[in-house]
Amino acid sequence: MTTLEVLGTCHHDCPDSCGWVATSVDGVLTSVKGNKKHPFSKGELCPKVNKFVGRVNHENRLLTPLIRTGVKGSGEFREATWDEALELVVSEFSRVKDTYGGEAILPWWSAGTQGLIQNSGTSNALFALLGSSTQYGSVCGAASGFGMATVYGHGLGTDPLQCEHSDQIILWGTNTRLTNRHLWPTIAKAQKDGAKVIVVDPIRTITADKADQHIQPLPGTDVAMLLAIINVLIADDLVDHDYVSAHALGFEELAAHVVNSTPEWAAPLCGVDAETIRDLARSIGTIPATMIRGLIGVEHHFSGPTMYRLSAMIPVLTGSHKTLGGGFARSVGAWAEVDDVDGGVVAGLASVVAPNAGQRRSLRQPALGESLTQLADPIHALFIWNGNPVLSMPDSAAVRRGLEREDLFTVVSEHFMTDTARYADVIFPAAMETEMVDVMPAWGHLWLGWNEPATDPLGEAVPNTELFRRLAKAFGFDQPELHLSDMDLIKMAVGDHVDIEAMRRDGYVRVTNYPENYLPYENGGFHTPSGKAELVAESFGAVGVSHLPEWIPVAEGPGSPQMDRHPLFLQTPKKATRFLNTSYSDLPAHADLETKPHIELDLADAEVRGLTEGDTARVFNDRASLTLPVAITDRLRPGVVSVPWGYVDSAYGDATGSVNDLTNAADTEFGAGSNYGDTLVQVEAI
């Protein structure tokens, strides 16, 4: 019997990027446990990854290439050899290119793995040679990063672990105990030591349960509240004028801009009492060690980038960047890209093998439904990996309609027969994290993680890097850049800045340009051309960013004419503990232990509609309709309805669809994000 124990890192799109120890016996994965030596996760894995062995060895896993035999969406396939499947893909993609041009091909991927080389590998270079369309933006991260960059020059914030030293922690739009669980012990310790914890969230989450204060604004109204906070900071002279004078541009313009944005102005927009807003502002302005922590939820609005822009301004105005435990914490993993690693080096292979790579048509990643149904020059060949867009993209009904097109040839790389894979013409079997090598650049802490394979891939599954090597060979592309080994790609990405052998030995390595207790903006040093924080958008006006941040009512927001027909704000929270995104929600060990999809309503909204606990109701708008059981809750305020997210189509009963069929796929104000949270619906009794 041969036992192998290796160090690895969780690949999921999560700020925690936990370290693990994977064990195999005679080539079969037998155990995945937390690495107790990992400095952030400290030996704990979340409930979904605790069952990773069952996922890897599951009987329903896809282990051979498949070719469709039934109608699209039926899930009817036959097994095929790799050569046969590759030949069909090359034939169809070549036909599309010859008939419609290369831009009729679209590669689409998300963050099914965050790995430095396995996320997209050499795909950019491969598809550049085909002259395909490409994608820009993202449902998560793009809008918030861009919003922050309008002030700081990039999207890099303070290390959230420094909240250990905070006297006040504001968790804005983040359910930390569920979605960033390994940060919570640090917050809890700070709270025990006297720090005040404030949660700003339309839903009373399990994190809000543990807070000292919960502020519950209407969804998408954060910008109004933040403008009012800045109004109070300036009106009450709670500004660090020395810091602002030395390290910021545009203070006088900002002060004039917010003079009428009082708490009394914001209160009816936000549904939050004016004195609550004023008290929050004054506590921020008088407690230097105030850490504001923002994550993904709040950016899923038209105004999401502006929310991040304003949040980033606050520690500039108060000077809390000078204080350990102060600042604004969004993503810190990106600090790795400043010095230690650069995944863009691998992505940049496209310009090496295809000099015109940057001139191709670019389509917004969250708007896949629109790209498949509304383009004047349609997409005729689609390649999907690292994602399940039929469930995860906004306006999923449009994605489904697009995938049903008979003139669209679709290829999917997957682990299981997901709701997206069911629409494929060809499916390639994908390797799992314990079966491939990678480096994981975390975005919620400062450690790069190594991932050593514990076994070979099961069946005929392959890592993404090998998939694209095989595709390149099948297309006849012999450029060396397309055939680099995984270790060559890792060395290219991390360069000489990281001791790869030390990372491999220990399982992690800390980002070297962010030392302990480092205050990145203590003395300015912003990444704008001037080196100063831009309270006015001097560097970004040419790309559609307004000079000064404003409250802008939107089509599916407060005051919208749509509210006459669809008066409720829809929230789609991650609520299950054994799955968060769409991975794992199709496995009985996870899904069967969670509550089925349901409509949550405040008692007042339920009574108006004649609804009681357990009734069946329809939640709908002009995009879609779902019929679900009703749950009455005190966790929502009136005017807000919640349908939890992450469930597979079959969990909704006989109807084809999911909660994202209802959600809004429109662009954000800037930053190429998505408006999941700006969705209006009505609920009526069945």
Q: Taking all residues of the chain, what is their mean pLDDT, rounded to a whole number?
A: 93
Give backbone dihedrals phi and psi of 280, rounded to 5 degrees, phi first. -60, -45
- The predicted pLDDT at position 344 comes to 59
Residue found by looking up tokens 């030591």 in the block: 193
More confident position, 81 or 142: 81
Is the residue at 50 inside a domain?
no
Q: What does the buried/exposed string (b/e) look like for 635-672 if buried means 16 or more CB atoms within 10 Å of the residue's CB?
A: bbbebbbbbbbbbbbeebeeeebbbbbbbbbbbbbbbb
Rg for the chain (alpha carbons), in Å? 25
- Helices assigned H by DSSP within 319-393: 335-339, 343-347, 349-353, 368-373, 389-392
Q: Is the pLDDT of residue 5 over 50?
A: yes
Which amino acid type is present at position 170?
I
Q: What does the buried/exposed string (b/e) look like for 398-410 if buried means 16 or more CB atoms within 10 Å of the residue's CB?
A: bbbebbebeebbb
Is the residue at 28 inside a domain?
no
Q: Average pLDDT, stretch 134-145?
A: 92
Q: Using CB atoms within 10 Å of the CB of residue 566, give its burial: 0 to 12 exposed, 13 to 18 middle, 19+ buried.
A: buried
Is the residue at 521 inside a domain?
no
Provide the pairing of β-strand 426-429 with 66-68. antiparallel
- Pair 344, 416 in one domain: yes
Question: Any idea what the Cα angle at residue 384 is, between residues 383 and 386, rounded to 5°?
Answer: 145
Q: Using CB atoms within 10 Å of the CB of residue 26, give its burial: 0 to 12 exposed, 13 to 18 middle, 19+ buried.
A: exposed
Measured distance CA(53)–CA(30) in Å, rounded: 6
Instruction: Give me the helix-helix angle, 304-318 and 274-286, nearest 10°.
Output: 50
Measured distance CA(552)–CA(669) in Å, rounded: 9
Measured distance CA(141)–CA(145) in Å, rounded: 6
Q: Is the pLDDT of residue 174 over 70?
A: yes
Is the residue at 463 inside a domain?
yes
- Pair 622, 535 in one domain: no
Instruction: Give the number of other CB atoms < 10 A from CB of residue 48.
Output: 23
- Pair 307, 284 in one domain: yes
Q: Average pLDDT, stretch 305-325?
A: 97
- The predicted pLDDT at position 121 comes to 82
Is the residue at 361 inside a domain?
yes
Q: Average pLDDT, stretch 458-465?
A: 98
Q: Is the pLDDT of residue 375 over 90?
A: yes
Q: Is the pLDDT of residue 368 over 90?
A: yes
- Pair 182, 321 in one domain: yes
In contact, 149 and 306? CB cutoff 8 Å: no
Is the residue at 145 inside a domain?
no
Domain termination site, one of 488, 513, 543: 543
Range of the domain at 639: 561-685
Query: Could you tell me the end-to-end alpha-carbon distance of the chain, in angstroms, rounded to an integer?
Result: 60
Measured distance CA(237)–CA(230) in Å, rounded: 10
- Pair 232, 310 in one domain: yes
Q: Is the pLDDT of residue 458 over 70?
A: yes
Eight-state DSSP code of residue 295: -
Q: What is the CATH number of the domain that holds 594?
A: 2.40.40.20
- Pair 492, 577 in one domain: no
- Pair 199, 173 in one domain: yes
- Please provide the DSSP assignment of 20-69 as one string: EEEEEETTEEEEEEE-TT-TTTTT---TTGGGHHHHHT-TT---S-EEE-
Give me the half-sphere count of Cα atoms (radius 13 Å) on the Cβ side of residue 583: 21
Give backbone dihedrals phi and psi of 652, rounded to 5 degrees, phi first. -90, 5
Q: Is the pLDDT of residue 106 over 90?
A: yes
- Structurally, how many domains does the chain consist of? 3
Measured distance CA(6)–CA(385) in Å, rounded: 26
Question: Any idea what the Cα angle at residue 448 is, between residues 445 and 451, rounded to 5°?
Answer: 125
Q: Average pLDDT, stretch 280-298?
A: 95
Q: How confident is the model at residue 182 (pLDDT cuts 50, 70, 90)?
A: very high
Q: What is the CATH number of the domain that holds 438?
A: 3.40.50.740
Q: Average pLDDT, stretch 217-225?
A: 95
In contact, 626 and 620? CB cutoff 8 Å: yes
- Pair 357, 486 in one domain: yes
- Considering only 218-232, 506-520, 644-658, which range has the smallest mean pLDDT? 644-658
Measured distance CA(347)–CA(547) in Å, rounded: 32
- The predicted pLDDT at position 654 comes to 66
Is the residue at 24 inside a domain?
no
Domain termination site, one of 479, 514, 543: 543
Q: How confident is the model at residue 318 (pLDDT cuts 50, 70, 90)?
A: very high
- Pair 325, 344 in one domain: no
In contact, 198 and 284? CB cutoff 8 Å: no
Q: What is the CATH number of the domain that holds 251?
A: 3.40.228.10
pLDDT tens-digit readout, 378-387: 999 999 999 9
Q: Is the pLDDT of residue 22 over 60?
A: yes
Eight-state DSSP code of residue 431: P
- Pair 314, 201 in one domain: yes
Domain termination site, one of 483, 509, 543: 543
Q: How confident is the model at residue 298 (pLDDT cuts 50, 70, 90)?
A: confident
- The predicted pLDDT at position 513 comes to 76
- The predicted pLDDT at position 554 comes to 84
Q: How confident is the model at residue 340 (pLDDT cuts 50, 70, 90)?
A: very low
- The predicted pLDDT at position 401 comes to 97
- The predicted pLDDT at position 346 comes to 64
- Pair 252, 381 in one domain: no
Is the residue at 13 inside a domain?
no
Q: Average pLDDT, stretch 301-327?
A: 97
Q: Is the pLDDT of residue 663 over 60?
A: yes
pLDDT tens-digit readout, 226-265: 999 999 999 999 999 999 999 999 999 999 999 999 999 9
- Pair 125, 195 in one domain: no
- The predicted pLDDT at position 542 comes to 67
- The predicted pLDDT at position 348 comes to 66
**Considering the chain, what percentage of its residues have pLDDT values greater than 70?**
96
Measured distance CA(130)–CA(101) in Å, rounded: 9
Q: Average pLDDT, stretch 352-358?
A: 70
Q: Is the pLDDT of residue 589 over 90?
A: no
Q: Is the pLDDT of residue 640 over 90?
A: yes
Q: How confident is the model at residue 657 (pLDDT cuts 50, 70, 90)?
A: confident
**Considering the chain, what percentage of its residues have pLDDT values greater than 90?**
81
Closest to 67 (Cα-Cα) out of 87, 51, 49, 52: 87
pTM for the full predicted model: 0.95
Q: Average pLDDT, stretch 432-443?
A: 94
